[in-house]
């Protein structure tokens, strides 16, 4: 964690020195010195990465670096916030402020000097007489000392169907050598499944030669080769003297003698596979490698032509079956414990390792109703009490992460159990927290999305829902891994959870423990806020309470003083303008409309605005200067959603040139109506970074028919690089689809309820050249005349509540890219036409002998 803290602080210092020198006048030299010293600390942290788990001295030093970096960050952020308000202060107060700041910075400098001395002692080997940072000699253990983890041989539950699928892949298919991979998170049973398959009589009969080797994180290629050879032949003294390459050749020679199956268990890196693969010959006799890994990228690297088998979680019934067997063996469960047992099994969330651990706990105690009830109330905490058997196994994946992913992973501890996390929100939070460092010109949110995909590939984070374009929409974390996050977060002073409000009569305020950077409230928000808590070190103030969170202004006016260094806030006092560091603002309200009184143009770091109500924004004072001289231009702002049409003025949009996502809800007539030869919609043409646009026509309390749009603006008035467009309740005639078809980069088109109205849609030639996703919501459309050339790259069609539509155009079956066709609540004739399209596609593939996933058809409700 210290690595991420120092990285973020260095980036902040760099930004100050390069772009905000006016805010640090008088102390620039001290900040430059601090930057140099922290850069040296960063080098030490990098060198010490692998030694922290071995030496308490190094761990303590890393904690000291983290704490002093936190302190320096607080001092600098506080100074910058105060500097932004200096115009209201007298010259004498400014001088005193700078002097106070210089004193604080010097104190931090002294602490850094002290830490530097300790680092020097380590480098000089004065703390202990060993080489701390030089590579150690390779392990002298005998090659056969490495042992695979103990796995279940009996009482394996829930793996029969899984085993059958993997066995089919091993015994069928092409004659050339293939790698079949099983992937999943730690504790899911990959090794157990592999052992079940390896010892299956049909597999023993099918493969003349079989061998098993366990790789793990710190594998040794020599040991792996010797382990496999020991299963094939008697090891000789000559073999022990061979080099790694010579051993690989010897193994290759033995494997050429027949059809073989080699199980390579627990592979962590692509490099490990590259080191080993030279020993496995392709003898074109149906030989196979069965590989297990926690990382999807390792499996794909070993065989990019065949997707890995993703091991599923146990069902609730399977979890109970496994728990029952482990606790009672073949005996019956007492009736008074059965319901509690099922609750306990369910709370293990389908993770076999957790079931086994809690079963061991239940077996050791008296099997009483009170004891089982106690465990049922907090299963995960009881599992965490057995770190050697469960938490340490899960922690292996965490320890293997690069440090930039460690902090992103720990962040999942902020979210409540079983919480489905919106990805857009998660990525913005990571950016605002400073976890994402700039790489070239790439957008920070795009880098954050790559980090999330990496965590998913490592099977640490689960995908809950995907968007129509395949990107992750929501995600979640397994309860046991969340507990691991909380365990690591507690050690790092990373966050404080508030699950309920408890009044503190002895104090008028609720102090936040020193250095906690994040505050999460899970319930009773108003009561907590009313107590006027104070968090001088808090950077994120997050709320996940289910109750109504509308907070009266009198309860929130203190926030800008009590939480002056906040970067992420999900309540909305007008005084948030004074939060110089704030980057993301999320407002959930039951109100239909919202007046955002905060002056967003004073907030230099601001990036994203999300409001559930239609927000009215107040623009900055109009300026006659050029954009590059305008002090109110905010190039950081990337998201504004959801705002009213009258907020789309030139005064606002011209000052957000890098806007990527814009959502508008309200009476859209005011957006497209021309006054004086121009309309508000004209301002969109200059947003050349805008990729996503939502236009939601909301005429409440008048009926939507009174707000029907007469047409769409001409193509040149749309954002030039628009990729995703959503329309709702616009009631346009289908002839205006030709305008949308001419948008050159459009990939996703969502026509929500009554976006278009009319009985016939006949697309024009030459449009929708890049369209991949088409979503059509509730409409009165009857006849849709289209051929494959109208949508040449279409991959997915989703139709919802198109009850009048007679048929899906048969010509769409000719679109080779089409993979998904989903129909919800459509007519029976439309469903029948969709089935005919699917059948025709299947026949074409059979005739052409093409390997393809075919066309996936979903029809709901299904035929009864």
What would the DSSP string read from start to end of 598-646?
S-GGG-TT--EEEEEEEEEEPPPPP--S-GGG-TT--TT--EEEEE-GG
Least confident of 270-274, 422-426, 533-537, 840-844: 533-537
Asked if the model's pLDDT at residue 273 lies above 90, the reply is yes
Angle at 240 between CA 239 and CA 243, to 5 degrees: 80
Q: What is the mean pLDDT of residues 252-263?
A: 92
Most confident of 98-112, 504-518, 831-845: 831-845
pLDDT exceeds 50 at position 125: no
CB-based contacts of 519: which residues, under 8 Å, 6+ apart?
495, 496, 498, 512, 535, 538, 540, 541, 542
Whether 148 maps to a domain, the answer reads no
**20 domain-assigned:** yes
Residue 797: name the closest of 466, 474, 468, 465 by CA. Answer: 468
Residue 861 lies in a domain: no
Beta bridge partners, 274, equal none
pLDDT digits (tens, 9 = 90+) for 531-559: 777 777 888 888 776 554 455 556 566 66
How far is Cα 377 from Cα 387, in angstroms, rounded to an integer?
A: 19
Encoded tokens for 736:
């205006």
The answer, as to whether pTM is greater than 0.75, is: no
Domain holding 369: CATH number?
1.10.8
Query: What band does 690 get if pLDDT is binned at 50, 70 and 90?
Result: very high
pLDDT at 34: 75
Task: Clarify whether residues 326 and 411 are in a common domain.
Answer: no
Which whole number is the average pLDDT over 378-386?
71
Question: Look-up: residue for tokens 């640090």?
Answer: 24
Query: How far apart, in whole angstroms, are the C-alpha atoms of residue 413 and residue 477?
Result: 9
β-pair type (773-776, 796-800): parallel
d(CA 51, CA 402): 14
The residue with tokens 């919802």 is 800
pLDDT at 258 over 80: yes
Burial class (CB in 10 A: 0-12, 13-18, 19+), 218: exposed
For the stretch 729-748, pLDDT in tens is 999 999 999 999 999 999 99
Q: What is the pLDDT of residue 272?
A: 92
What CA–CA distance (Å, rounded) separates 724 from 693?
6
| Tokens linked to 707 | 């707000």
Single residue among 362, 390, 418 that ends a domain in this structure:
390
> Residue 864 pLDDT more than 60?
no
Look at residues 491, 525, 543 and tell me which one is the last residue of a structural domain.
491
Question: Out of 136-140, 191-195, 641-645, which region has the weakest mean confidence (pLDDT)?
Answer: 136-140
- Cβ contact 155:327 at 8 Å: no
Question: Phi and psi dihedrals of 179, rounded to 5?
Answer: -100, 125
Higher pLDDT, 126 or 706: 706
| % of the chain with per-residue pLDDT over 90 | 34
Q: Select the more confidently predicted residue: 384 or 249.
A: 249
Q: What interhelical angle do 91-123 and 28-47 show, nearest 10?
A: 30
Q: Is residue 361 predicted with pLDDT exceeding 90?
A: no
* pLDDT above 70 for 28: yes
Task: Tell whether 736 is covered by a domain.
Answer: no
Query: What confidence tens digit (pLDDT) does each residue in 842-858 have?
Result: 887 776 644 445 788 99
Q: Are 488 and 384 in contact (CB under 8 A)?
A: no
- Residue 205 and residue 68 share a domain: no
Both 343 and 450 in a single domain? no
| Count of domains observed in the chain | 4
Q: Which domain holds residue 269?
A: 160-310
Which range is least confidently modeled, 11-15, 83-87, 516-520, 854-858?
83-87
pLDDT of residue 132: 44
Residue 418's domain is classified under what CATH number? 1.10.10.10
As to burial, measured by CB atoms within 10 angstroms (0-12 exposed, 13-18 middle, 19+ buried), residue 232 is middle
Give the residue, 75 or 233, on which the prediction is more confident: 233
For the stretch 79-89, pLDDT in tens is: 776 766 654 45
Pick from 5-9, 253-257, 477-481, 838-842: least confident = 5-9
832 in a structural domain: no
Which range in 13-27, 443-457, 732-746 is most confidently predicted, on average pLDDT?
732-746
pLDDT beyond 90 at 807: yes
Query: Is 38 inside any structural domain?
Result: yes
Please indicate whether residue 9 or residue 765 has the higher confidence score (pLDDT): 765
Report the chain's mean pLDDT, rounded to a whole number.
81
CA angle 670, 675, 677 (to 5 degrees): 130
In this predicted structure, the answer to whether residue 588 has a pLDDT above a threshold of 60 is yes
Distance CA 352, CA 318 (A): 9
| Domain co-membership, 325 together with 302 | no
Using DSSP's 3-state secondary structure scheme, residue 704 falls into: helix
Same domain, 281 and 323: no
Q: Same structural domain for residues 180 and 219?
A: yes
What distance in Å separates the CA atoms of residue 198 and residue 167, rounded to the nearest whole number?
9
Torsion, Cα of 478, 480, 481, 485 (10° steps): 130
191 and 306 co-located in one domain: yes
CA distances from 229 to 58, 236, 250, 271, 290 (A): 40, 10, 8, 21, 17
What are the Cα distances from residue 759, in Å, to 18, 733, 804, 811? 60, 9, 9, 19
Within-domain flag for 637: no
Structure-token pair, residue 5:
């803290």
Bridge partners, 543 (sequence order): 521
| One domain for residues 284 and 235 | yes
Last residue of a domain, one of 265, 288, 310: 310
- DSSP symbol at 663: E
Continuous segment of H or E residues that includes residue 820:
strand 820-824
**165 shares its domain with 246:** yes
- Res 806: pLDDT: 95
> Per the structure block, which two tokens stand in for 116?
């530097």
Pair 112, 173 in one domain: no
SS3 of residue 809 by DSSP: coil
Within this chain, do residues 479 and 463 fall inside the same structural domain, yes or no? yes
Confidence at residue 380, expressed as pLDDT on a 0 to 100 scale: 73
Is 811 part of a structural domain of the chain?
Answer: no
Which stretch of 365-369, 816-820, 833-837 has the lowest confidence by average pLDDT?
365-369
Taking the CB of residue 269, how many other CB atoms lie within 10 A of it? 17
Phi (first) and psi of residue 463, to 5 degrees = -80, 125
Task: Lowest mean pLDDT of 245-259, 582-596, 647-661, 724-738, name the range.
Answer: 582-596
More confident residue, 152 or 476: 476
Helix (H, G, I), strand (E, B) or coil at 422: strand
Which stretch of 310-319, 391-400, 552-561 has the lowest confidence by average pLDDT?
A: 552-561
pLDDT at 497 over 70: yes
Find which of 106-110, 352-356, 629-633, 818-822 is predicted with most confidence, using mean pLDDT: 818-822
The yes-or-no verdict on residue 91 having pLDDT over 60 is no
Residue that has been written with the tokens 């970067």 in this structure = 567
Question: What is the distance between the alpha carbons of residues 618 and 638, in angstroms, rounded to a whole number?
Answer: 17
Q: pLDDT confidence of 782, banded at 50, 70, 90?
A: very high
CB 687 within 8 A of CB 653: yes
Confidence of residue 356 (pLDDT cuts 50, 70, 90): confident
Q: Are residues 380 and 408 in the same domain?
A: no
């Amino acid at each position: 964690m210290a690595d991420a803290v120092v990285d973020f602080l260095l980036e902040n210092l760099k930004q100050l020195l390069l772009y905000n020198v006016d805010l640090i006048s008088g102390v620039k030299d001290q900040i430059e010195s601090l930057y140099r010293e922290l850069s040296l600390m960063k080098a030490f942290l990098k060198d010490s990465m692998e030694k922290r788990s071995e030496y308490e001295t190094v761990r303590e030093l890393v904690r000291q670096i983290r704490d002093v970096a936190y302190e320096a960050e607080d001092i600098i952020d506080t100074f910058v916030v105060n500097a932004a308000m200096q115009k209201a202060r007298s010259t004498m107060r400014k001088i005193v402020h700078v002097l106070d700041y210089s004193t604080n910075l010097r104190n931090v400098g002294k602490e850094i000097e002290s830490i530097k001395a300790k680092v020097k002692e380590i480098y000089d080997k004065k703390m202990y007489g060993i080489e701390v940072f030089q590579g150690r000699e390779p392990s002298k253990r005998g090659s056969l000392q490495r042992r695979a983890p103990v796995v279940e041989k009996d009482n394996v539950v829930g793996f029969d169907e899984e085993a059958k699928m993997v066995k089919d892949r091993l015994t069928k298919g092409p004659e050339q050598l293939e790698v079949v991979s099983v992937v999943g998170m730690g504790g899911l049973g990959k090794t157990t499944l592999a052992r079940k398959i390896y010892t299956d009589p049909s597999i023993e009969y099918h493969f003349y030669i079989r061998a098993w080797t366990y790789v793990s994180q710190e594998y040794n290629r020599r040991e792996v080769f010797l382990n496999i050879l020991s299963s094939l032949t008697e090891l000789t003294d000559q073999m022990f003297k061979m080099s790694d390459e010579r051993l690989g050749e010897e193994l290759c020679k033995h494997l050429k003698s027949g059809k073989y199956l080699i199980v390579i268990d627990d592979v962590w890196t692509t490099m490990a596979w590259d080191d080993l693969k030279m020993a496995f010959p392709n003898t074109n006799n149906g030989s196979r490698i069965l590989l297990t890994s926690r990382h999807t990228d390792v499996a794909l690297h070993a065989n990019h032509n065949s997707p890995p088998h993703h091991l599923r979680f146990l069902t609730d019934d399977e979890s109970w079956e496994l728990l029952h067997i482990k606790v009672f063996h073949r005996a019956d469960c007492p009736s008074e414990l059965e319901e509690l047992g099922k609750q306990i099994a369910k709370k293990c969330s389908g993770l076999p390792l957790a079931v086994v651990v809690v079963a061991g706990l239940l077996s050791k105690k008296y099997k009483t109703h009170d004891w089982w009830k106690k465990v049922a109330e907090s299963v995960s905490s009881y599992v965490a009490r057995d770190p050697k058997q469960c938490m340490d196994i899960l922690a292996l994946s965490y320890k293997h992460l690069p440090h930039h992913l460690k902090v992103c992973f720990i962040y999942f501890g902020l979210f409540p159990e079983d919480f489905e996390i919106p990805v857009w929100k998660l990525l913005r939070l990571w950016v605002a927290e400073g976890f994402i460092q700039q790489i070239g010109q790439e957008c920070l949110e795009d880098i954050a999305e790559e980090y999330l995909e990496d965590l998913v590939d490592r099977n640490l984070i689960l995908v809950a829902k995907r968007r129509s374009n395949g990107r992750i929409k929501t995600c979640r974390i397994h309860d046991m891994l969340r507990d691991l996050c909380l365990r690591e977060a507690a050690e790092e002073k990373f966050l404080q959870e508030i699950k309920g409000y408890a009044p503190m009569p002895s104090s008028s305020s609720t102090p936040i423990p020193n250095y906690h950077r994040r505050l999460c409230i899970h319930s009773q928000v108003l009561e907590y806020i009313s107590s006027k808590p104070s968090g001088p070190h808090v950077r994120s103030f997050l709320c996940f309470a289910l109750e109504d969170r509308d907070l009266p202004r009198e309860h929130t006016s203190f926030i800008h003083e009590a939480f002056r260094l906040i970067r992420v806030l999900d309540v909305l006092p007008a005084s948030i303008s004074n939060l110089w560091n704030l980057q993301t603002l999320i407002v959930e309200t039951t109100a239909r409309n919202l007046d955002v009184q905060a002056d967003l143009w004073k907030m230099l770091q601001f990036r994203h605005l999300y409001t559930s109500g239609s927000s009215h924004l107040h623009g900055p004072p109009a300026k006659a200067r050029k954009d590059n001289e305008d002090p109110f231009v905010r190039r950081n702002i990337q998201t504004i959603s959801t705002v009213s049409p009258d907020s789309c003025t030139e005064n606002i949009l011209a000052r957000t040139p890098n806007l990527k996502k814009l959502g508008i809800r309200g009476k859209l007539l005011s957006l497209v109506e021309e006054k004086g030869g121009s309309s508000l919609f004209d301002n969109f043409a200059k947003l050349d970074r805008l990729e996503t646009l939502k236009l939601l026509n909301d005429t409440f309390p008048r009926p939507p028919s009174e707000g029907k749009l007469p047409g769409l603006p001409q193509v040149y008035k749309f954002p030039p690089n628009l990729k995703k467009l959503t329309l709702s309740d616009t009631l346009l005639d289908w002839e205006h689809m030709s305008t949308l078809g001419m948008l050159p980069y459009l990939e996703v088109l969502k026509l929500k309820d009554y976006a278009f109205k009319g009985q016939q849609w006949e697309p024009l030639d030459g449009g929708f050249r890049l369209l991949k996703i088409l979503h059509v919501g509730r409409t009165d459309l009857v006849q849709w005349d289209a051929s494959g050339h109208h949508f040449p790259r279409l991959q997915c069609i989703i139709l919802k509540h198109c009850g009048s539509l007679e048929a899906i155009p048969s010509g769409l079956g000719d679109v080779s890219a089409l993979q998904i066709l989903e129909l919800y609540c459509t007519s029976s004739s439309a469903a029948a036409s969709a089935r005919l399209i699917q059948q025709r596609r299947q026949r074409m593939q059979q005739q052409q002998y093409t390997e393809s996933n075919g066309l996936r058809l979903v029809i709901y409700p299904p035929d009864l």
